[in-house]
Amino acid sequence: MQSLSPSSGISLKSLIRKTTPPPGQTHRFDPVRFVIQCGHRSDSANTSASTVNTNGAPTSYNFAGHVGSSRADWQSSCAILASKVVSQQQDTEKTGDITVVNGHKTLDLVPIDNLPKPLTITDLSPAPMHGAQMRVAYQGVPGAYSEAAAGKAYPNCEAIPCDQFEVAFQAVELWIADRAVLPVENSLGGSIHRNYDLLLRHRLHIVGEVQLPVHHCLLALPGVRKEYLTRVISHPQALAQCELTLTKLGINVSREAVDDTAGAAEYIAANNLRDTAAIASARAAELYGLQILAEGIQDDSSNVTRFVMLARDPIIPRTDRPFKTSIVFAHDKGTSVLFKVLSAFAFRNISLTKIESRPHRNRPIRLVDDANVGTAKHFEYMFYVDFEASMADVRAQNALAEVQEFTSFLRVLGSYPMDMTPWCPSREE
């Protein structure tokens, strides 16, 4: 990955040069790719979601939905799935430059001049850039874990800092970046809900995943001691991941949320704050001239954040290595469909690796009237499921053909190689 140390001084203005996209590609995104609007059908066979990518090459997922044995057999064999809905953590909704979670106060970050500045919404004029080097958008400033994830996903990339997740999505859509690398879940802090919502709102495709061991440090200005601290600032996920350890260290001062971990370090350095510590990476300490007061302060030594890589076009799914597929679906009749959908995977021995539910923003409430007892108000959800199979695998195609029967909306977010990096939790990124 290209270094974003202060000496490199990449200016974001240079990222927005006016060039045209490569031949055969356009700025427009095909909203139908991998989106299947479906109704109920009695026959499940030969349903095909055939689409064309922007290079003109057909990308087709054929859902031939054949169910090989009786429904009663598989319904009983997968009954265990019914209780497996994952509980959710707090939302990390971002608004503008500032994050507010659980009443944490927010801060305005004062940037340091010689580091690349995060893209803002106003930088996003549709002015594409397409060079030989992969440009990868991430949320945060240099030294953020997301920057390390971008480097792990694309080792020789030019990492482009963005001030919001939304901006990273748009940077790819507008050809300012070739890929975005964004966190979706952490082993301690849970899901990054904002990115689930954005995955649905935008038309990018998941083309890969990286799992990054996250090794947090407590950083302060040189000479500052723990006793001087009146507050600890960081990304809300990082605060959540270190809560118990901070208490054990006797640091019972206020916690305040900012947009990203490295941004917290930058803020302390830029404002010469001697009463404030940041939770961030050792690389952030180096970049912003802070000392490490404590290392490895995450509540679990094997703390891992999973990031997804996003692109304008999907990759061709394969079967010669482990693949994962991510889908999102909803149903007009609410959550009763969930068990049926999950059983389509259980029946075919396809393991699920993640289930997430988010409010159905277009139709958040469903009213069910009963003349005798009144009106029930059910909340409506979008369900996100990751499963361990490639879309090139006939089992996955059959499972999705069946899912399509049970759902009113189904979209394949991507089918991509699983991160199979050998387990090395103590390694610092």
Ligand X SMILES: O=C(O)C(=O)C[C@]1(C(=O)O)C=C[C@@H](O)C=C1
Catalytic residues: 305, 307
In the complex with ligand X, which residue's Cβ is closer, 146 or 357? 146
- Distance CA(145)–CA(216), nearest Å, equals 10
Q: Is 135 helix (H, G, I), strand (E, B) or coil?
A: strand
Q: Does 357 bind ligand X (CB under 6 A)?
A: no
Choices 246-254, 257-265, 336-344, 371-379 (CB under 6 A): range interacting with ligand X:
257-265
Choices 106-114, 139-147, 199-207, 420-428 (CB under 6 A): range interacting with ligand X:
139-147
Choices 83-91, 107-115, 260-268, 393-401 (CB under 6 A): range interacting with ligand X:
260-268
Choices 128-136, 259-267, 375-383, 397-405 (CB under 6 A): range interacting with ligand X:
259-267
In the complex with ligand X, which residue's Cβ is closer, 148 or 399? 148
- The neighbour count for residue 53, using CB atoms within 10 Å, is 16
Q: H helices then E strands: how many in the chain?
A: 9, 22
What element of type H or E holds 161? strand 158-162
Measuring CA to CA, which residue among 280, 232, 227 is closest to residue 256? 232
User: Nearest distance from residue 94's CB to ligand X, in Å?
Assistant: 9
Judged by CB under 6 A, the chain residues 82 through 111 that form the site for ligand X are none
Q: Is 218 helix (H, G, I), strand (E, B) or coil?
A: strand
In the complex with ligand X, which residue's Cβ is closer, 235 or 331? 235
Q: Which amino acid is at 314?
A: P
Q: Does 317 bind ligand X (CB under 6 A)?
A: no
In the complex with ligand X, which residue's Cβ is closer, 145 or 383? 145
Q: Does 176 bind ligand X (CB under 6 A)?
A: no
Rg of the chain over Cα atoms, rounded to whole angstroms, equals 23
User: Nearest distance from residue 342's CB to ligand X, in Å?
Assistant: 27
Q: Does 164 bind ligand X (CB under 6 A)?
A: no
For the window 179-218, what string marks contact with ligand X as x by the rule CB under 6 A? ----x--x-----x---------------------x----
106: left (phi over 0), alpha (psi -120 to 50) or beta: beta
Q: How far is CA 280 from CA 7, 127, 162, 224, in A?
A: 21, 33, 17, 16
Residue 143 CB partners (closer than 8 Å, separation 6+): 261, 262, 265, 266, 280, 281, 283, 284, 286, 287, 288
For the window 216-255, what string marks contact with ligand X as x by the rule CB under 6 A? -------------------x-xx-----------------
Judged by CB under 6 A, the chain residues 261 through 280 that form the site for ligand X are 261-262
Q: Which two tokens stand for residue 333?
A: 């009749």
Give me the residues that bind ligand X (CB under 6 A), please: 140, 144-146, 183, 186, 192, 214, 235, 237-238, 260-262, 305
